[in-house]
Amino acid sequence: VNKDNIVTIQSQVFDGFCGNNIASFVLRRRGHVPKILNTVQYYSKYKHCGMELNICDMKSILDEYILDVSNLYGDKNNLHFLTGFIKTKECVECVINTILELKNKRINKCIDNNVTINDNTSSNATSEINNEEEYLIENIININFLWICDPVMGDDGKIYVDKEIVDVYKRYASNADILTPNQYELELLCDKKLLNEKDVIDSLSILLNKGAKIVILTSVKYNFDNEHLFVYVSFFNRQNKMICFKYKIKKFDFFVCGTGDLFSSLLLSFIIKQGGSILKIVSQVLNIMHNVIENSIGSTELHIIENQDIIASDKLYGTLVNPEPACI
Ligand code: PXL
């Protein structure tokens, strides 16, 4: 039985690298055995011609998976979901319902069997918690059942999925353990332009208050700094205080879709294989991203295959960008 049960639900393209063409390679190259559901089969990320999985076909695959999960895998196996590009409202709803149904089943089973699950909502006021401990991913989310939701909707002011999906994510995305919006997606989720750090913190705080356990803004650029991008990681600590750190990243002249997909698949792998401080994990993911992007400059595609050894590695290449506290 495969203990490391990853399901990745994203787009597939004939030519190039985005969605599952990135996630399946990254996850497999890093030693995982993901189950792969392709939500669309397009020509490329630039030419969305081809086909979309219809709701009946998607439902029949996910229903079969739910049966297998309950019959074959039992309750001891970990379940990890990574969701990205889904084109239609019906399919997004189907995916979210499936994940939440499995999550509720798992929680009820744990209660029935009197198993203690990692309940991160109860704060232990008497214990002294140092900073190191409050950044441990195991203390923020339940690693045994994990949903990383990349609410893929668009980039740079342009939507590339059905517009009704915005409302679905507004209502349900905060059920995710980890949300990884880009700048435009966070603006859509919170109906707020991100012009400065206060706007970012306010928006992240809205999603955390709605129930998301960790929200990572995968990049934002400010008008007053043309040289850098900023990445933000936010969560509540056990005292229900919002923690927010930022990473200041050198901005490359490279605007190719797929960087978000590389981020989310690396993030999932590092969480499962390594765990520990979420701040360190994001530093490591950003270190790999930096190198892959730098080695892809001049191309219209991320050089995923050419950089496979960097992608597979747990080592650092070049300098690590350290997080600094954001001003809450
Ligand atoms: O990287 C997001 C993404 C995923 N899948 C498809 C895309 C894009 C962005 O353009 O076109 C098919």
Half-sphere exposure of 25 (CA within 13 A, CB side): 21
Interface confidence (ipTM) of the complex: 0.98
Asked whether 9 lines ligand 1 (CB < 6 A), one says no
How many CB atoms sit inside 10 A of residue 116's CB? 7
Instruction: Report how far ligand 1's centroid is from the alpha carbon of 224 (Å).
Output: 28
10 Å Cβ neighbour count for 265?
A: 31
For residue 13 and ligand 1, the question of a CB distance below 6 A is answered with: yes
Q: Which atom from ligand 1 is nearest to the alpha carbon of 44? A: 12
What pLDDT, on the 0 to 100 scale, is given for residue 194? 98
- In the reported structure, the alpha carbon of residue 152 is separated from the centroid of ligand 1 by a whole-number distance in angstroms of 8
Residue 127 is predicted with a pLDDT of: 42
Whole-number Å distance, alpha carbon 85 to ligand 1 midpoint, is: 6
Contact present, 153 and 184 (Cβ < 8 Å): yes
Quickly tell me which residue has 């435009």 as its tokens.
Answer: 184
State the distance from the centre of ligand 1 to the C-alpha of 267, rounded, in angstroms. Answer: 18
Closest ligand 1 atom to Cα of 259: 1
CB-facing half-sphere around the CA of 182: CA atoms within 13 A:
21
Token readout for 226 is 């043309």
pLDDT of residue 75: 65
Cβ of 45 below 6 Å from ligand 1: yes
44 burial via Cβ count (<10 Å: 0-12, 13-18, 19+): middle
Strand segments (E) across 14-91: 35-42, 50-52, 78-83
- Nearest residue (by CA) to ligand 1, atom 12, is 45
Q: Which long-range contacts (CB under 8 A, 24 or more apart) does 161-165 make?
A: 161/85, 161/86, 161/87, 161/88, 162/87, 162/88, 162/89, 164/89, 165/86, 165/88, 165/89, 165/92
Q: Ligand 1 centroid vs 126 CA: distance in angstroms? A: 47
Q: Which residues of the chain have pLDDT under 50?
A: 1-2, 119, 121-129
Decide: 216 and 232 in contact? Cβ < 8 Å: yes
The tens digit of pLDDT for each residue in 36-50 reads 999 999 999 999 999
Per residue, the 3-state secondary structure of 206-235, as one string, reads HHHHCCCCEEEEEEECCCCCCCEEEEEEEE
- Please tell me the distance between residue 46's alpha carbon and the centre of ligand 1 in angstroms: 8
Residue 204 identity (one-letter amino acid): L
pTM: 0.94
Q: Which ligand 1 atom is nearest residue 152's CA?
A: 2
Pairing mode of beta strands 78-83, 228-236: unpaired
CA 261 to chain centre: 8
pLDDT of amino acid 125: 41
| Residue 122: per-residue pLDDT | 46
